[in-house]
A and B are shown apart, each in its own frame.
Chain A
């Protein structure tokens, strides 16, 4: 297929809103949504600040099947408040992961996929967003004892803040070229550390460190896919088929301290240095 024809044949996942992303990933494009928008469980905190609420608080909880196994997908709507998590959206994710873990303790092999499109804590709900994210962390660590927890970072918002830590706790991460995964938003780093340290408006610069390609090349993400919904679904299915990893990436402190010991922080970081030191399979 020619380049142009291939491009046109793609079904972009990045362009899909949260609910449509769920649809693209579930078997038969079928799912049942929990606490759907018509229930109007919205943020208790935004209206008093003059911020218009979204009926699902920016998070979709969907139950269905993936490769014939019971699955729950947590999809963050990046278009609402930058995908930032408040009390309700955070509780939807944490609560669903907690129930998935409970299922496994009762012999039901429910697995979870988290679609990370988020700047982290919603500052209008600050400490409740942060607390919910801590509960998300707890629930991922619990659930991943039974099933791989798979994170998908597609873009355009990417995955930042406390939710980047959640992504770091996932068993596997799927990323696209458009994706970014980093702890601090580029503007915040520029404000705190100065523009010479980090130029938030230099897109190639930002992606060279935190973009999907670089994260996959340095073992901080597992599978890199082109922006296509069916390729993404195949990647998720293949990762579930792998089963739980022998060692979770976030447990590999020995590996990371060893590799980092070979880096002299007096030198500023470059993408090449990071690839040399963190590349999976690099000589030890």
Chain B
């Protein structure tokens, strides 16, 4: 395996599944591996760069129209297969730079394709499948909404290359008509605007921030730690009576999100 050309998503998918072959029938940009987590069945899903993608604007790890619908398929297949069976876990290995930007994408309704993916993951969760997101690289914007953000629990590697945000810095600077330096200064004072994963962690959305020696080339200990974190999350989900996202509330920088809900309930 040529580490330099493999994405983190590919690296971690292979590591977590002991290099098992992905399912056939999916495009190179969406890899689906049926494996195990502890002693339970688990489907692992990742979006990977595909330099030969027929859609020219989805070649470097973006989630495009096809990727969105294929993610939906990967998750719906699990829901359908396990309807009368124990609900297997789903692990979304998240390393997605953004949604794809292009004329074809808007023309063919990329928003609907991403809704397909997000909706599938949400339905899996509601049906009782433990869904865990493991952020190993970028988790940006629409791509993260589609792949990862509907998980019961979110684990992120504690690494400088791990980044969650709504828009890349340069584009965000242009849209808000500020300089990148201004944005970075604001981000230091406004935690939700920050790009680093430690600031993201203060929002209370993560189940765990996981230290590893190398996010790019996980060693055996890194892999064992990640597996352990996934298993603890899995047990926590199975023990939780609610399949919703309420565990994300209560973080120190998310007080207004709880206050609004309390007031809505009181006034309903």
Contacts and interface: CB of A to CB of B under 8 A. Distances in A.
A and B touch in their complex, CB below 8 angstroms:
yes
Given A34-B264, A250-B112, A268 B165 contact: no
B175 A123 contact: yes
B260 A95 contact: yes
Nearest to B115: A168
A210 interface: yes
Given A256-B69, A257-B73, A260-B66, A128 B142 contact: no
A48 to B, nearest CB: 7
Interface string A175-209: 00000011111011101110001100000000001
B268 A191 contact: no
Given A87-B256, A182-B111, A192-B101, A253 B116 contact: yes
A50 to B, nearest CB: 10
Interface in A125-155: 125-135, 137-138, 141-142, 145
B174 interface: yes
Interface in B60-84: 65-66, 69-70, 72-73, 76
B166 A127 contact: yes
B56 A265 contact: yes
Given A126-B193, A250-B112, A269 B107 contact: yes
A123 B195 CA distance: 12
B257 interface: yes
Contacts of B166: 120-121, 123, 126-127, 129-130, 162
A142 B116 CA distance: 14
A249 B112 CA distance: 8
Contact of B106 (A99, A209, A270): A209
A251 B77 CA distance: 12
B165 A127 contact: yes
Nearest to A82: B175
A243 B27 CA distance: 36
A61 B265 CA distance: 12
B107 A124 contact: no
Contacts of A193: 57, 101-103
B105 interface: yes
A37 interface: no
B186 interface: yes
A168 to B, nearest CB: 3
A49 B186 contact: yes
Given A87-B257, A260-B66, A265 B55 contact: yes
Given A138-B122, A169-B118, A91 B104 contact: no
B175 A265 contact: no
Contact of B245 (A130, A138, A215): A138
A34 B263 contact: yes
A113 interface: no
A255 B1 CA distance: 36
Given A41-B259, A142-B126, A183 B99 contact: yes
19 contacts: A45-B190, A49-B190, A92-B260, A123-B172, A129-B192, A130-B149, A134-B118, A137-B122, A138-B150, A145-B126, A165-B115, A165-B146, A169-B115, A192-B101, A250-B72, A252-B116, A265-B104, A270-B107, A274-B108
Give 8 closest A-B pairs by Cβ, nearest first. A168-B115, A269-B107, A164-B111, A91-B260, A134-B149, A141-B122, A192-B101, A128-B192
